[in-house]
Copies of this chain bind each other. A is one copy, B any other.
Amino acid sequence: MNCPGPEGLPLYDLSARTGTTLSAMFTLETRIRVRYSETDQMGVVYYGHYAQYFEVGRTEAIRELGLTYREMEESGILMPVTSMEVHYYKPARYDDLLILKTKIRQLPRTMITFQTDIHLENGTHLTSGSVTLAFVNKESGKPCRPPDQLLGLLNPHFL
């Protein structure tokens, strides 16, 4: 069961609240229109550009939680990517309207993992990607704990 946010697009997955801890998570839906620049001569989206789509999904997920990645960075915390895994099932094409479902399945400790699935409007599953990022203190360059504000905003989704 989902609770539509403003404009019907951003969704909280409420199953988290009624289900067990295992199924607790935070989910956000975002839409991205494929740009011409993102295609290659095979006539489909270049495989490297999905990283940008995942990034947009993450950015909007954090914004939906109630802060912005920009603010986090300005407050002195960087989030470099430490690993990425992508599976390409079907190609996305120019002008396709992509539906991204970005999920945080676990409360972050030293790392945070975002799982993103990309579908077409007709439901076709195109891509799934998993991106893990560290929290790093901008000054020291050292790994650090996730900001309390982020944890505070995520916590209610994992009760």
Contacts and interface: CB of A to CB of B under 8 A. Distances in A.
B82 A87 contact: yes
Given A84-B85, A95-B70, A47 B51 contact: yes
Given A70-B94, A84-B85, A84-B86, A48 B40 contact: no
Contacts of A44: 41, 80
Given A59-B95, A70-B94, A95-B68, A52 B37 contact: yes
Stoichiometry, as copies per complex, reads: 4
Q: Interface majority SS on A: helix, strand, loop or mixed?
A: mixed
Interface string A47-91: 111111001100100000000111001000010111111111001
Interface residues of A, number: 38
A84 B49 CA distance: 12
A158 interface: no
Interface of A: 33, 35-37, 39-44, 46-52, 55-56, 59, 68-70, 73, 78, 80-88, 91, 94-95, 131
